Homo-oligomer: A and B are copies of this chain.
Amino acid sequence: MKSYYKTDEWSVIEEGFNPKMQEASESIFSLGNGHMGQRANFEEKYSGESLQGTYIAGIYYPDKTRVGWWKNGYPEYFAKVLNAPNWIGISVVIGEEELDLHTCKVSDFRRELNMKQGFLQRSFIAEFKSGRQIQVNARRFLSMAEEEIGAIRYSVKPLNFKGTLVLTSYIDGNVVNRDANYDEKFWDITAEGFKKGVAYLQSRTRKTGFEVCFAMVSETELNGEILKAKDQTVQQKGYVGYRKEIDVSTHDEVVLYKYVAVLSSLDHQAASLAENSIQKVIRAAERKYNGLFADHNTLWEENWSNSDIIIKGDPAAQQGIRFNIFQLNQTYTGRDERLNIGPKGFTGEKYGGSTYWDTEAFLIPFYLSTEPPQVARNLLKYRYKHLDKAIENAVKLGYKNGAALYPMVTMNGEECHNEWEITFEEIHRNGAIAFAIFNYIRYTGEKEYLAEYGLEVLIALSRFWRERVNWSDVKGKYVILGVTGPNEYENNVNNNWYTNKMALWTMQYTLESIDYVMHEHPAQYQKIIRKTGFRYETETASWRDVIKNMYFPVLEERGLFLQQDGYMDKEQRMASELPPAERPINQHWSWDRILRSVFIKQADVLQGIFCFEDEYTLETIRQNFDFYEPRTVHESSLSACIHSILASRIGEAEKAYELYLRTSRLDLDDYNKEVDEGLHITSMGGTWMSVVLGFGGLRIREGMLSFTPSLPKKWKYLSFVINFRGRVLQVGISNQQTEVKIIRGDQLQVEINGKIVMCQPAKL
């Protein structure tokens, strides 16, 4: 596949102005810093197709759901991340003409996302209808060091005229969400004005009552000299700006510096929001663009030293993985346990910016490996704090006795999704939440997390599974009827192998965890018993009974775990037999046809094998991979990564590589023709796994790190960094050798290609 963007190890580069790609590029070139995010909308006016997007973490609106056929148990509202006031706006006017790339003649257009330093740069020459030409060079970043600050440097050079340039730097609160269900307004402006040389605008979300204040300082230089003349203020309904008229001649350079503070009532009293924002932006402006950028840059250096993956010999793969890591780092920094990661991060409205099982199943390993434990711990605590709501959710669906069903999609712990086959039936998400606790402890060694938070969640999850199974007389086993597995191309099936496995494992792990907390943290154990009303004897006996008698669909003669009851009744076709014109099938086939087909959207049985790989022989893994992968159409962004890892595991290096490229360049090469809606942020954690767990062959077995690398043919060298139990390790893999260095912390035994090695701290 020929890439639209230039391949570069540290940058994504677009050359030439391509309005048809504008919304896609707005996604690709998005910036974020954990606190907020900004699509690559233009600063100046743009009347062409564009999806305006400014998002502030944790600020959402409960939009009334649109439902065709209401089912009991559906939520009334779908929490949505909001398109917040536009803070980047700079209007550029010369004479009667306003700069607008949709109407000007554009040349020398170049856009670069510099991933190393975390900024967006854009330059172009625009020719107005009058023939006047200007050259523009715009750069911006969202500060990693000061997460409430964004800064823009916007340079304009007249190329062939003399005249008056009018620059208006503004904040515009008149914004909408494209995906609003009933075209409602989500924001009310609560304050706007000018104070101490700062323009500010405060907005409150309807219903949820979040308040956000944007405060802006604008400074203009002419040929390096600050223009002292006072700006004119411009105020309209929900719009505040500073306007400056500058007389310019050919080859002058006018540079506008725009500093914006974005504060929210999540972190500040609403009453002092405006004042705090003004103070904040004044201090930022004092630090100047270069100072702010230097601080920002330091943080990105740190980020990269913790998380960079180096691939030698394959620039496209190198660019792909860095793009993924860059996005993960700028989407979530782990500083706030109220936040989580939406499937599109800060790059689009789709999926409402809400939390899915993606976090636990695809992102936790990345953050565990590349950040101190606190970061992943905050993601776990997010769910811990939603436990009461998960229990309420289960009650709403008819469960009793403290069972918890975590929502499929959520912002504040309440279910947002309303498709019965997903909302009520895709219950395997409960398993992912249990597995994340296990994963956290396996990486960090912090088993006491169970006593503090984990066990309470596990008990509620096991109670759920206990109530959810039923005894089948004809099978003489417990069954789980009416579920949707990870493969959402099946609905309302019985005994989805993955779900049954997750249920069983959760109950087993809960039993182990109870033993541990009971013996190692008896006081905490008593507290948990009081809080949950847990009855040890009867509940554990009942779980053990289910564990012992759980039904699993299998096809023994072929060594297969069956995706669900009746899967073999389907017409057995291979994805390769599908005519290209019918792919992706979710765009070409009616839903019933997809459902009754053999085709699989994303790893399902294989997702289970991925989680519990050590329980299965290589032969079993291979048999299942060879059976399921050819039936898989990979129409979920979460599919290719798991398959790539398993392909690596069974030695199918080329298959693994093909699947890896698909996941790592999913957005850059827009495999699914939908990148205009935003990036697939959560699948990027899967991409990371397919390098580190796949090609790097990292596993944790009985508390020990192990590596069985197998690099794609093209790759000369691979290195990555791993946080593990108080150490930071650097792993370097070439065809000749695998080297593991401890770059922080004590020595550590690891297994490399089956041999146990003691790794020593590197001498710095």
**Interface, chain A (partner B; CB < 8 A):** 65-69, 71-73, 396-398, 418-420, 424-425, 470-475, 479, 481-482, 491-494, 565-566, 568-572, 586-593, 595-596
Contacts and interface: CB of A to CB of B under 8 A. Distances in A.
Given A396-B590, A397-B593, A596-B481, A566 B569 contact: no
A73 B472 CA distance: 36
A591 B71 contact: yes
Given A397-B590, A397-B593, A592-B424, A470 B72 contact: no
25 contacts: A68-B419, A69-B418, A69-B419, A72-B586, A72-B587, A72-B591, A73-B592, A397-B590, A398-B589, A398-B593, A424-B592, A472-B568, A472-B569, A472-B570, A474-B568, A474-B569, A479-B569, A481-B566, A481-B569, A491-B492, A494-B566, A494-B569, A565-B565, A565-B566, A565-B569
Given A481-B566, A568-B472, A592 B65 contact: no
Given A569-B479, A592-B425, A68 B71 contact: no
Contact of A470 (B470, B491, B571, B588): B571
A150 B589 CA distance: 50
A182 to B, nearest CB: 9
Given A66-B66, A397-B592, A481-B566, 16 more contacts: A66-B68, A396-B590, A398-B590, A420-B591, A424-B590, A425-B592, A470-B569, A473-B568, A473-B572, A481-B596, A482-B596, A492-B492, A492-B493, A492-B595, A494-B569, A565-B565
Contacts of A570: 470, 472, 481
Contact of A420 (B66, B471, B592): B592
Contacts of A71: 590-591
A466 to B, nearest CB: 14
A588 B397 CA distance: 9
A341 to B, nearest CB: 22
Nearest to A78: B68
Given A398-B590, A482-B596, A569 B68 contact: no
A746 to B, nearest CB: 50
Contacts of A596: 470, 481-482
A66 B420 CA distance: 16
A659 to B, nearest CB: 26
Contacts of A73: 590-592
Contacts of A66: 66-68
Contacts of A72: 586-591
A171 B497 CA distance: 64
B419 A482 contact: no
Q: Which among A68, A470, A481, A586 has the greatest number of chain B C-beta atoms within 10 A?
A: A68
Contacts of A67: 66, 68
A494 B491 CA distance: 12
Nearest to A398: B593
A229 to B, nearest CB: 52
A633 to B, nearest CB: 14
Given A472-B569, A571-B470, A424 B591 contact: yes
A528 to B, nearest CB: 28
Nearest to A482: B596
Contacts of A569: 470, 472, 474-475, 479, 481, 494, 565
A74 to B, nearest CB: 8
Contacts of A571: 470-471
A65 B419 CA distance: 16
Nearest to A469: B571
Contacts of A592: 73, 397, 420, 424-425, 482
A42 to B, nearest CB: 31
A465 to B, nearest CB: 14
A492 B419 CA distance: 14
Contacts of A587: 72
B482 A595 contact: yes
A213 B420 CA distance: 44
A67 B470 CA distance: 33
A492 B471 CA distance: 22
A493 B494 CA distance: 10
Nearest to A565: B566
A533 to B, nearest CB: 23
A68 B69 CA distance: 8
A101 to B, nearest CB: 33
A589 B587 CA distance: 33
A690 to B, nearest CB: 29
A587 B73 CA distance: 10
6 smallest CB-CB distances across A and B, nearest first, come from A73-B590, A424-B592, A482-B596, A71-B591, A472-B569, A481-B596
